[in-house]
């Protein structure tokens, strides 16, 4: 893996991806998001996430802890980024959205400093990528992701 600033710095079809605190050239993720979920031969029985190409959504399944295939993700966020190509989503890099309209509604944003989702008042004239209608939605998408996740920045 070599360091990069954008896809143009990477050889061949490789993509410039966030890897921990750096950007590295990596092979693009393709194909395995179409595979059905596989429990595997072990008996650990933990919840994991898989991409369902029929619905276009990431869903939970029971994973045995070993084997299986690569359509198997620790959390929903990673599944969505990898398989739904939500490359623009990066909870840590987008500031809280402060609109200029005057129709208040409850919303939540991910605060990188506290590493938690927090309430704010959205005034109803749109959002950015760091605005969620529910606390649960914010938590599932940002808090569960963890910072060990490889974020695919572009395709």
Q: What is the C-alpha to C-alpha distance for residues 73 and 148, in angstroms, rounded to an integer? A: 13
Q: Quick: pLDDT tens for 131-147.
A: 777 888 777 777 655 43
Report the top-level CATH class of 105-150: few secondary structures
Asked if domains 7-86 and 105-150 share a fold, the reply is yes
Burial profile 92-107: b = 16 or more Cβ within 10 angstroms, e = fewer: eebeebebeeeeeeeb
Q: What is the C-alpha to C-alpha distance for residues 90 and 127, in angstroms, rounded to an integer? A: 15
Backbone angles phi, psi at 51, to 5 degrees: -90, 125
134, 110 contact by CB (below 8 A):
no
Domain 7-86 bears CATH identifier 3.40.50.10490: no
More confident residue, 21 or 5: 5
Phi-psi region of 31 (alpha: psi -120 to 50; beta: other; left: phi over 0): left
3-state secondary structure the chain: CCECCCHHHCCCCCEEEEECCEEEEECCCCCHHHCCCCCCCCCCCEEEEEEECCCCEEEEEEECCCCCCCCCECCHHHHHHHHCCCCCCCCCCCCCCCCCCCCCEEEEEEECCCCEEEEEEECCCCCCCCCECCHHHHHHHHHCCCCCCCECCCC
Q: So what's the pLDDT on residue 62?
A: 93
Break the chain into its structural domains and give their ranges. 7-86, 105-150
Q: So what's the pLDDT on residue 101?
A: 58
48, 61 contact by CB (below 8 A):
yes
Q: Quick: pLDDT tens for 99-128.
A: 555 666 788 887 877 878 888 877 665 556
pLDDT band of residue 59 (cuts 50, 70, 90) is very high
């Amino acid at each position: 893996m070599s360091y990069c600033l954008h896809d143009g710095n990477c050889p061949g079809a490789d993509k410039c991806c966030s890897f921990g605190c750096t950007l590295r050239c990596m092979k693009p993720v393709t194909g395995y998001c179409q595979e059905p979920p596989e429990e595997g031969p072990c008996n650990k029985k933990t919840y994991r996430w898989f991409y369902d190409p029929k619905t276009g959504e990431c869903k939970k399944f029971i994973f045995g802890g070993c084997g299986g295939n690569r359509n198997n993700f620790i959390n929903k966020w990673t599944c969505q980024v990898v398989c739904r190509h939500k490359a623009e989503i990066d909870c840590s890099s987008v500031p809280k959205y402060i609109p200029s309209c005057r129709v208040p509604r409850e919303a939540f944003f991910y605060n990188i400093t506290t590493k938690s989702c927090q309430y704010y008042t959205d005034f109803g004239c749109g959002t950015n990528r760091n605005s969620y209608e529910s606390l649960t939605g914010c938590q599932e998408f940002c808090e569960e992701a963890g910072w060990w996740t490889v974020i695919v920045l572009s395709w």
